[in-house]
Every structure is written in structure tokens, then in C-alpha cells.
Structure 1
Amino acid sequence: MQIDKITHYIINWLKEYAVNAKMDGFVVGVSGGIDSAVTSTLCAKTGLRTLCVEMPIHQAESQVTRAQEHIAQLKKRFANVTDVRVDLTPVFEEFKTEIPPTNDDTYLDLSLANTRARLRMTTLYYFAGLHRYLVCGTGNKVEDFGVGFYTKYGDGGVDLSPIADLLKSEVYKVGKYLEVPQSILEAAPTDGLFGDSRTDEDQIGASYDELEWAMKMQDENKSASDFQGREKVVYELYLKLNRANQHKMNPIPICEIPLNLR
């Protein structure tokens, strides 16, 4: 992997896209994780205005600290970086008081977790509209095209995705090259949507290294019967999630009216 060349390619791609779109910069939600840290740094290195938005909702203190450390570092390194903090906790709590109670709470926690992500998306687009910025996505290849580990119209609601063709391991390599804070490079990946300490691996049931392996096996048209033990478990899990989340990865289906009915 030619990290330096790939990094500069993404930076040029971002700048060219923004200039062609006649937009003035980028807005990025910064969570304290590796993906948002890498994405915001790439945006900053374009030289265009980059707004880092911190949007805590009952966030763990460790995540808040990492996000603030990263933003402070970016502002010190790049004069084009600004930041804003929007505490969405009161908004989220008010939302919960307005929705009707449910008799079946099987999917309540997941629905509320996705609501957090969609409140953040709305906030990012508010600032994007205010400043003529593009909302920059932070999803990597494993999340966006492997297991669909993101919220539809939440963190999946973006204008462009600069790191969506990078595997998680590659994002870490770029992050190291970009001098992302060590605390972020060492932190266990988490979406922070449940207000507890659960990691991405806890939620998915496999590590990103295992998922990257499974993506490679899928590209090679392997079947679950080709494997045993942990590899078989991981591959079956990957295929299950990949199938279940195709509705996120594919374009929105359109009901096309037959010509003879027009």
C-alpha cells in the first residue's frame, strides 16, 4: 500500500470535488474514533475550510476526550479548521418524551440508537447549508460495503465518502501517516450509539481483521463450506450481514411504471 500516494490522491479528490461543486468547504462529525479523525484531517489538508462538529448524546467521557484532543490538534496544525460543539442530549431526551410508548420494546434500543445517528446527520446538514459546505462521510469499506454497519440516513447520509474504498486496517495506516493522536489509534472502535462501553466487535460479533478476511473470501467466491471452526463462524456471519444490509448498499428501488400503463 502506497500510503503517501493514496493519501494525496484522496486529498486532491476531495478538493477537486468541492471546487467543481462550487462549495466552500467540508463539515465532518468528529466522534473520537479513527474514521472521523482520518476524514477530518484529509479535509483539512485540502486547504479548504473544514468544520469539525462534536455532537455528544450521553457520550462516554473517553470518546469526548479523544474527540476534543483531535480537534485541538487539527486547529493547531491547520488555520482552515474550525469547530463547534452541539450537545444533542437534551434534543434526544425531548424526542423520547414526544414519541408514543410501545408495547413491544424488542427493537427499541436499536431504533433509538439509529435516531441518535439521524439527529447528528440533521445537525451536520444544518451547518452545511449555513456555510455552503459538503457533508463528508466517515465510513470505511468494511462498514459501507461489507457488513453495512452504519445507520441509513444517519452516518450514511452524506455528500461524499473519501475513505469508503479503504479497509479498516488501511484507515489506521493512513491515520498514522497523518499523525492522528495516538489515543485514537489505540482506542477500540465503537459507534457510541448506545451510551455504554460496547465496541464495534461486541456488536458485530467479529473483529475488523476477520471481516476484512471475509470480504476477501467473498471476492474469491468462497462458500462457508470451505471453512471450519472460527473461520466458518465468521464467514457465515459476514455473509448474513452482507445479505441483510443490501438495502443500505444498493440504490433506492424505484417502481418504474410500464409504458403500456401510461
Structure 2
Amino acid sequence: MQTAAVIDYIVNWLKDYANEAQMKGFVVGVSGGIDSAVVSALAAKTGLPTLVLEMPIHQKTDQIGRAQEHIKQLKARFDNVEEHWVDLTRTFDSFVMAVDIGDPKEHQTQLALANARSRIRMIALYYYAQERGLLVTGTGNKVEDFGVGFFTKYGDGGVDISPIADLLKTEVYELAKALDVPKSIQEAEPTDGLWDTDKTDEDQIGASYPELEWAMGVYDRHTAGDFNGREREVFEIYERHHKAMVHKINPIPVCTIPANLLK
């Protein structure tokens, strides 16, 4: 990959899109992870106003520390970057108290609460976006957004633009290195930060990003029966997640009424 050229291309694409949309700049939720670090750095390089939001919800201290290290570095390098801290822990706790959460130990309940965290953050991002004339800038990569659907519908999937959604996770790491993203972020295990436990992305999905990228690359030309051992296992993991994600990326189904019924 021509890393420097890709960075320039994305930065120019962001700038052109914002200008054509008559928006002032970008707002990015920064989590301490690699994707949000790369996206916020790319947005900052446009020279347009870039608001980075930290939105902790019972967040782990190491995640907060990495996010703050990155934001401090961004502000030192770019005078168009502004930070804002929005602690959504009490908001989330109030939501939990307001709904019937059932058995908190059940996986579906835990998953619903994890996704609720993401959707609450989406509300905060759009509040600041609308108030300041900014674009909510997505941080999903190609494997997450179009491979296994590792995002929350109307949560971190609710964005205006997606600058790295055509890049594989390993390619995002290449950009991170070229953009001087802090080593602590580059070396941290990928996690969505939506759980009270230390669940990594691999823990949740069952395969690493390099494995998923392999499966994504061969999926259209093969079936699980073409492979053995770990390759077959990874292929089946990818296939299961991919089939389950279709509703996240397809247009919302609309019930089309027959014309004769509307007369």
C-alpha cells in the first residue's frame, strides 16, 4: 500500500466532502483504539475544525489513558483540534434503571446493554455535530463494516461519513504508524470498550483481524468444505457473522403497497 498517498487521498476526500456539504469540520469519538486514533488524525490533517469527544461509560482506565495520550498529542500538532469530555456513565446508569433489563447475566441482556452504550454515544456525537455544524465521522474499517458487522446499528454505525471503511484493519495499522499514533494505541489489543469485562474484539468474534481478512478475501470463491483445521474454523466464523450482519448494511425494508390498493 502507498501509505502516504492513501493518507493524502483520504484527507483531501474529507476536506472536499465537508466543503461540498457546507459543513465546518468533523466530530470524532475517541476511544483509545486504533481506528478512532487514525480517523481523528486524518480529520485533523484537513485543517478544518476537528472536535474529538471522549465519552466514557464505566470505561477502563487504560482505555481512558490511551485516549488522553492521543488527544494531547493531536492538540500539540494541530491547532484546529478541540477536545471535549462527556462522561455518559450517569446517563447510561439512568437508562439501565429505567428499563427492565431482565437477567443481567444473560448474554443477550449484556449484548443489548453494550449496544445501548454505543447508541448513547451516537446521540452525544450528533448533538455536537448539529450544534457546531460538523460531520459525524465514522471509525469503522472494512472488515468490521462489510465483513463481520462488528458495529452497533444506529450506534457507532450511525455516522455521516466513513473515511477508513475501505481499509482492512492491517492497513489501518500501517496508517497509524505513518501518522505517529501513540505506540500505546498501536500495541493495544483491539477492543470496542462496551463491556465491563476486558473483552477484546477477538474474544467476541472468535478470530483475529488477520484471520478475518483472509476469510473475507476467499469468501466469494470458496465454501467451508474447501478448508481444514483452523482455516475452516475461521471461514465458518466469518460466514456466520457475515450472514447475520446483512440487516445492518441493507436499506431499511419498506412495505410497498400495490397501486390498486391505494385507489
Q: How does 1:94-133 map to 2 (within 5 A)?
A: 94-102=94-102, 105-133=106-134
Offset, 1:253: 1.4
Offset, 1:106: 4.6
Offset, 1:101: 4.7
Instruction: Provide, for residues 10-62 of structure 1, a one-character-per-residue CA deviation record: whole Å limited to 9, x for no partner.
Output: 10000000000000010000000000000000000001000000000011110
TM-score (norm 1): 0.98
TM-score (norm 2): 0.97
Match of residue 260 from structure 1: 260
Taking the aligned partners of 1:43 and 1:230, their CA distance within structure 2 comes to 38
Distance verdict in 2 for CA 1:18–1:101, change over 3 Å: closer
List alignment gaps of at least 5 residues for structure 2.
none
Give the partner amino acid of 2:218: M
Taking the aligned partners of 1:103 and 1:198, their CA distance within structure 2 comes to 20
Offset, 1:107: 1.2
Give me the identity figure in percent. Answer: 61
Instruction: Provide, for residues 124-143 of structure 1, a one-character-per-residue CA deviation record: whole Å limited to 9, x for no partner.
Output: 00100110000000000000
Match of residue 76 from structure 1: 76
Distance verdict in 2 for CA 1:101–1:51, change over 3 Å: closer
Q: How does 1:58-207 map to 2 (within 5 A)?
A: 58-102=58-102, 105-207=106-208
Instruction: Provide, for residues 75-127 of structure 1, a one-character-per-residue CA deviation record: whole Å limited to 9, x for no partner.
Output: 00000000000111111111111113536945110000000000000000010
Taking the aligned partners of 1:237 and 1:260, their CA distance within structure 2 comes to 46
List alignment gaps of at least 5 residues for structure 1.
none
Taking the aligned partners of 1:158 and 1:94, their CA distance within structure 2 comes to 25
Q: How does 1:181-260 map to 2 (within 5 A)?
A: 181-219=182-220, 221-260=221-260
CA-atom RMSD, angstroms?
1.1
Match of residue 48 from structure 2: 48
Q: Aligned with 1:107: secondary structure? A: helix
Q: Aligned with 2:154: secondary structure? A: coil
Q: Is the 8 A contact 2:101 2:109 kept in 1?
A: no
Give the partner amino acid of 2:247: H
Distance verdict in 2 for CA 1:132–1:4, change over 3 Å: same
Give the partner amino acid of 1:182: K
Offset, 1:258: 2.1
Taking the aligned partners of 1:193 and 1:90, their CA distance within structure 2 comes to 15
Offset, 1:259: 2.2
Offset, 1:164: 0.2
Offset, 1:200: 0.2
Taking the aligned partners of 2:38 and 2:103, their CA distance within structure 1 comes to 42
Q: Aligned with 2:84: secondary structure? A: strand
Taking the aligned partners of 2:224 and 2:103, their CA distance within structure 1 comes to 38
Q: Is the 8 A contact 2:59 2:193 kept in 1?
A: yes
Aligned length: 261
